[in-house]
Structure 1
Amino acid sequence: MPLHPILVLDQVIDDYRNYIRTEFRAKDPALNAAPELDRPRFLAQEPFFQAHRPFRSGKAWPDLPLDPRLARAMTARTGGAPAYLHQSAAIEELCSPTARPVVVTTGTGSGKTECFLLPVIQNAIEDVARFRQPGLTAILVYPMNALANDQLLRIEQYLEESGFQGAVTVAKYDRGTTQAQREDLRRKPPHILLTNYMMLEYLLVRPADRDGIFANHRCRFLVLDEVHTYRGTLGSNIALLVRRLRTHLQRARQDWRTEVSPHDAPYRFPTLVPVGTSATIKSVSEEAISRQEALRRRDAAVQDFFARLTGVEPATIQVIGEEVEEVQTPPEAQYALQPPAGVSVDVNDSESVHQALCTLAGIDQATPLAEAARQCRLLWDLHHWLIRQPLSITDLVDRVRQTIPGRTDAPLDAVYHEVATALIAGAALPDGTPGALRLRSHRFIRGGWQFHRCLNPACGRLYPLGEAQCSTCGYQTAPLHLCRNCGADYLQLAGDPLEGPLHPFRSGVDEVEWMLYEPSRFETTFADEESEDEPEEETPRARNRRQRNANVPTQMRRRPVLHGSFDPRTLSFSANRTDYPLEVILAPARIRCLCCGGTAGSRNVVAPLSIGTSAALKVLGEGLLGALDLAHRTFTGHDGKERLLIFCDSRQDAAHQARFITFASRYDRMRRNLVRLLEQEGPLTIQRAVELLADRGVRERDNPHVPEAPRQRLSLEERERIRAWEEAPVLDELALSASYRATLINLGLVGVVYEGLHEVVQESGSKVAEALDIDLPALEHLCRCLLDEIRMRGALSRPMLRYHPQHTSCPR
């Protein structure tokens, strides 16, 4: 089934909403409900849509100055379609003997990579034919390794499909390049070198690498991909880097074929031609000026920027932008007389899409699908509007009401439904259908949640972005925390409660924290001092209070636990429980829950209710990859691997996100595989489960310790490493982090059975049960609870646990 961008994005956001609701299970039902998550535009802003722009066609691939075999490969790749006009212009300019600097500024999916990649490959092919000697002919610089990896794969595919694999050499120079690989590059420089600006800097300051790789070069092209990212300080550094590179290339060792004919001289000693690629650039607003003037200003701005970056003359820089085909609205296209009501679209049912289009156009339901799409004027108007700029549904509704006479006074909700229906139906049309919408969907989604809660108990509203004051009642808010074990909630305050009012805790400020806990909200109240008029017979409620009070610590980390009352408006505390409306306990630390008594070893058991951007990114990424997998299952020749490109603020942020996704995905993988094994095999011992998980990891080759080259037999050491990698997350969730909510058992995915427990209790438990005044089933339950507690404290006879930092026998 083709990917439907609108519905996929809606589903991903629904998954994200469910993730937030289930990630933190609070004891308070009001927190679990979290009505804010269902509020319109709370979790995600309104989407913006942009229609795929049909670019104007240029020359056929065989008519461009490309090797016939390379042209045939491109013809096969594009299904016989010609190059786009901007591709033709860039290829012809860069393949000419007098090539000038070029900047290609076109949108995503416009094929701008081919604008420089094909000339680079063509130049390398001609170099091989002319000189048959290793040596640089082009350097491609990318802002990120992910882009370089993708381009390397594409170059290798083009070379293989055109028959030049092995003749034209291509290599990467990045952090992963080993010493042996660097020696190979020095000994036999590639024709095409891919790197990033940081590693290009290293290349220039490593004399052995620089002198060896640049020796006898014929470097004609320097490509700067995503050149619009080189701004500010980074842009200044790149500008200096380009000038140093040019100088080093001019001074590089040239001791081979130094005497050449005038015809070969431009190829043996070429002039370096800088090439840049960029997303679509607009230097100014285009509202009040002609298109020609807008293009002139854009070209001047791009020429000035690229000249400063590369040191070439601005007038020599050729700026190549995109040209789109004009969309012609059929003269018979029309709107329905009134915005249709009650129209729903099932994108998996072509008849549902057909009926929706007929209704939108106000035509007979028997009209064929293609003709119905052709006569639906709203589809064509959406094309015109969304090709020019991204617009939200609200923006589109305004356009319809302003430009369509029959919609000027129509109800806003009716027009909104009409536009939304047209977007969904138009995006569901098969390729080639007149008026089919090919949309890009853009949406801003909230991440980095830091939940605060209103201090007013009658309000208690949640604020996911840490807003300091409640917009409903005007009370202050404070950071919300939950017990990892039972879900009891706390509010984090700071200050000296015995000297004056407290205040909400501020992150990054060094001050004493206090965790505000209301025991009465969780049926946990604490006994007052004994009084003379206390009834002789203790009620169940009083007994419950006394027992729980016995478990409340008197201090934490050498600071007292305070009992008293609290005023949520002034944030004042009194040791007298009747001075203020709320009876509370102030805990000076988060190492123990006052509700369930739970702890988390050396870590805090009461944790902030927050979700970082890493968790949000993981959930959203997994949703998108799942949608891509469904869409590609019917694609012939698809390799089964889905790819998602994620842009981060910095290299450090990218590394952090990658580590988190890798770590979290490892646990998700373990849970998924273990559940499948238990469904297939039935109950398993830990040892057998680990063995089967390892066997699956070898079969699927998704365990990092599986050797790269498939072998019939693995060594004992290799099998132990594979099993250890599979066992670690299992033991972590069964024995070390077992009290956390998002674990195998607490998620309800698996259960633990203690083998032989029933038999032992039946055979030997009678005396113990009699002494405890319980029956044997109750004794068995009690034993299971004790064994659970032992397991959850890490007391399992597994050798790997000895090497966990939390284990008492771990080497220090």
Structure 2
Amino acid sequence: GPFFNHRHGNGVDRHQPLPSAKSPFTTAAVDVRDPRLKQHVDELVARGEQSPEPWLALNPLFARGGAIGDLVTEGLLHPECERIFRPKSDFSDRGARAITLHKHQREAVEAARTGLSYVLTTGSGSGKSLAYIIPIVDRVLRMPERTSGVKAIIVYPMNALANSQVGELEKFLRYGYATGGEPVTFARYTGQEKGEEREQILRDPPDILLTNYVMLELVLTRPEERRRLVQAAQGLQFLVLDELHTYGGRQGADVAMLVRRVRDACQSPDLQCVGTSAPIASDGTADDQRNVVAQVASQIFRAPVTADRVIGETLDRATLGDPSDVAGLTVDVRRGGARGDYDALASSALATRIESTFGLDEEPETGRIVRQQPARVRESAARLAAQTACTVDECEQAIRATLLAGSSVRHPETHRPLFAFRLHHFFSKGDTVYVSIEPQDRRHVTSTYQVAVPGDADKALMPLVFCRECGQEYLVVARTDDHGTVRYRPRRDRDASGGDEANGYLYVSADQPWPADPLAEGRFPESWLADEQVLDRLRKYQPRLVRVDVSGAESPDGLLAAYVPSPFRFCLRCKVSYEQSRGSDFAKLATLDAEGRSSAVSVISAAIVRSLKQLPADELDEDARKLLTFATIGRTPACRPDISTTSCRSRSCEVPCTGR
């Protein structure tokens, strides 16, 4: 099912309305007729099986590495960097103050000055982009001759990342400077550019080129672009691979070969390669992880990357209280959460407990502060309740209130909120309903995938589908001949259809069973009849009476049922009929575990947007009431990830295929 990651930093609890939007969407297509089955489905929804509580994680506080001005004073950066790297709002804004770097960003600046390749492997929200942008800009500014030409190429795995970076670079490198007076130029060249924009880049190559790895390969192979862009990149200084962890398997080998070709084509034997990555290895200590990253990076870059040049994040605690202070925790819970300004909150026991629960942990071997695994608020509240003798509901409300208060107050110097948290919300389509082959009033009902009734291995469990018109249930089965005994086994490919009599459905009904003479009792749809007889072309699709025992085998003493061969042509209860004999039965029969993923994302997204619009004006800025969603889409039939881009015959792509 869909996964939503809600970044949260200014006091809005956004996950509350989402479960109520998802559950009706999933269950609306399944109108269950049988009362016992309907009760079972309603209980699943009530328990939150499809929309469980989200996981919460705090963005940690990173150790400070000094302001840009401090690095200029120390000679680590060119003086113009202090003017460039300032928060700015528009082209006329020169910025009031220079930004302050994290420690790992400073370490990246120091690593870049050595001229050796390095990797920055830190978590989300850690400012990895600045860790290579600042050294690149500094290198360009320090070059003795400000000649035109590409000094750095930044490679992104997706165009969306390149597009986002263009906006950020514009704020630093263009805002505050007169048009044409920018000290460092940049341009995006990903295949999205048309006409004059593309020609301008080829005519006057920028200092920094943003692209994707497929487009970079094309630049090396297309004669015109190789002549103009590659020639302009002779002596290339930097090659950055953003999101290095996305290049695995064959794709990783392709990118590794691309790095070698770029180095040779640009005649840059001393090319400095830079990688940014989420943590690639999770086992062992931080030193063990750095060694693994160094080995991978060395293979991709074809340049030695030692463990000391794998830069990780250094974390600090934002809170100062005692998380084990039971008396302080109890007071904070009793009054509905910790309160006060930044300093008061940071010193409270509950805020410190929250940071330890959702934000920070200590590495057992070294005592080093590392990120805590995401946790659920309700479960954390239960543990807090056991210590404070307060109720779970009181503790949960206090945790929520403290999180919201911490996201509203800001540090007087850095302007960072005490708590900036994210909700990882997973929505499950769930499993379908399974029943045993027994009378409706006493059959076993479950929604957990199993092959037999627990405690009774002789009773097989069959998945159900439901008529979209009346809600009649059908057992989804495969019919097989087991040494002369016909058996019905559970079939998981419920959408498969195409006239194969081995695939079908069992109809079981106590109040409206399938009769021995359905024609005489008027059980066929009118579209099936001509001159009061079943049409010849439809005879092979007629349901046939069978008796099936609890194990799924046909037996004279078994339960009376009707076997309906696939494809499903009409409902044996409401007589709604379908003319098509090919394709999927999905449009005819509904299940709880089959839904349109894109439709689900649309419904959930609409619920989020509605909740944002309904917030009071003082709770969230208007420009923050936005939602960004990503949805995976399939390749066009012509796209083949197993062939090179240059030999791809597809003509439907607007931009080069990235194999994703």
- Could you tell me the TM-score, scaled by structure 2's length? 0.73
2:488 alignment partner in structure 1: 502
Q: Distance in 2 between matches of 1:645 and 1:165?
A: 34
1:562 alignment partner in structure 2: 543
Q: Distance in 1 between matches of 2:431 and 2:186?
A: 44
Percent identity of the aligned residues? 24
Q: Distance in 1 between matches of 2:171 and 2:402?
A: 34
| 3-state SS, counterpart of residue 314 of structure 1 | coil
1:161 alignment partner in structure 2: 175
Q: Distance in 2 between matches of 1:140 and 1:550?
A: 65
| 3-state SS, counterpart of residue 89 of structure 1 | helix
| 3-state SS, counterpart of residue 480 of structure 1 | strand
Shift of 1:152: 1.9
- 2:373 aligned with 1:358: no
1:17 alignment partner in structure 2: 23
Q: Distance in 2 between matches of 1:597 and 1:629?
A: 45
Q: Distance in 1 between matches of 2:120 and 2:565?
A: 62
Q: Distance in 1 between matches of 2:590 and 2:29?
A: 12
Instruction: Pick one of 100, 103, 127 that aligns with 1:111.
Output: 127
Shift of 1:601: 4.4
Q: Distance in 1 between matches of 2:202 and 2:602?
A: 40
The answer to whether the 8 A contact 1:336-1:359 is kept is: no
Q: Distance in 2 between matches of 1:311 and 1:444?
A: 39
Instruction: Pick one of 43, 59, 63 that aligns with 2:66.
Output: 59
The answer to whether the 8 A contact 1:103-1:277 is kept is: yes
Instruction: Pick one of 578, 591, 595 that aligns with 2:573.
Output: 595
Q: Distance in 2 between matches of 1:565 and 1:112?
A: 66
C-alpha spacing 1:587/1:636, structure 2 compared with 1 (3 Å) = closer
1:74 alignment partner in structure 2: 86
Q: Distance in 2 between matches of 1:4 and 1:480?
A: 45
2:284 alignment partner in structure 1: 285
1:690 alignment partner in structure 2: none
- 2:193 aligned with 1:212: no
Letter in 1 for 2:570: R
Instruction: Pick one of 392, 395, 412 that aligns with 2:375.
Output: 392
- Could you tell me the TM-score, scaled by structure 1's length? 0.61
Shift of 1:150: 1.2
- 2:11 aligned with 1:28: no
Q: Deviations over 1:209-263 (max 9, x none)?
A: 222211132531111111122233332222221111111111xxxxxxxxxxxxx
Q: Distance in 1 between matches of 2:103 and 2:219?
A: 37
C-alpha spacing 1:448/1:5, structure 2 compared with 1 (3 Å) = farther
Q: Distance in 1 between matches of 2:614 and 2:446?
A: 36
Q: Distance in 1 between matches of 2:394 and 2:223?
A: 66
Letter in 1 for 2:575: G
2:365 alignment partner in structure 1: none
Higher Rg of the two aligned structures: 1
Structure that is richer in helix per residue: 1
Letter in 2 for 1:87: Q
Letter in 2 for 1:131: R
2:241 alignment partner in structure 1: 224
Q: Deviations over 1:577-625 (max 9, x none)?
A: xx54335353543132233332344365523422254444444444455
Q: Distance in 1 between matches of 2:125 and 2:329?
A: 37
1:87 alignment partner in structure 2: 105
The answer to whether the 8 A contact 1:90-1:115 is kept is: yes
1:421 alignment partner in structure 2: 397
Q: Distance in 1 between matches of 2:507 and 2:232?
A: 74
1:131 alignment partner in structure 2: 146
- Give the 5 Å matches for 1:108-507: 108-124=124-140, 130-133=145-148, 135-163=149-177, 166=180, 167=182, 168-178=184-194, 182-217=198-233, 219-250=236-267, 271-280=270-279, 284-286=283-285, 294=286, 296-315=287-306, 318-330=309-321, 334-336=325-327, 356=333, 358=335, 373=345, 376-385=348-357, 386-388=359-361, 389-393=372-376, 396=380, 407=387, 416-417=392-393, 419-429=395-405, 431-432=408-409, 437-447=419-429, 452-456=434-438, 457=440, 458-459=442-443, 461-463=445-447, 467-471=450-454, 475-495=459-479, 500-507=486-493
| 3-state SS, counterpart of residue 107 of structure 2 | helix
Q: Deviations over 1:725-784 (max 9, x none)?
A: xxxxxxxxxxxxxxxxxxxxxxxxxxxxxxxxxxxxxxxxxxxxxxxxxxxxxxxxxxxx
2:505 alignment partner in structure 1: 515
Structure that is richer in strand per residue: 2
The answer to whether the 8 A contact 2:22-2:51 is kept is: no
| 3-state SS, counterpart of residue 577 of structure 2 | coil
Question: How many residues end up aligned between the 2 structures?
Answer: 577
Q: Which runs of 5+ in 2 are unaligned?
A: 1-6, 72-76, 90-94, 362-371, 412-416, 529-533, 640-660
| 3-state SS, counterpart of residue 623 of structure 2 | coil
| 3-state SS, counterpart of residue 638 of structure 1 | helix
1:535 alignment partner in structure 2: none
- Give the 5 Å matches for 1:761-772: none
The answer to whether the 8 A contact 2:337-2:398 is kept is: yes
The answer to whether the 8 A contact 1:526-1:549 is kept is: no
1:702 alignment partner in structure 2: none
C-alpha spacing 1:517/1:282, structure 2 compared with 1 (3 Å) = closer
Letter in 1 for 2:351: L
C-alpha spacing 1:41/1:641, structure 2 compared with 1 (3 Å) = closer
C-alpha spacing 1:517/1:6, structure 2 compared with 1 (3 Å) = farther
Q: CA RMSD in A?
A: 4.4
1:261 alignment partner in structure 2: none
Shift of 1:139: 1.0
Shift of 1:333: 8.8
Q: Deviations over 1:527-548 (max 9, x none)?
A: 6659xxxxxxxxxxxxx99344
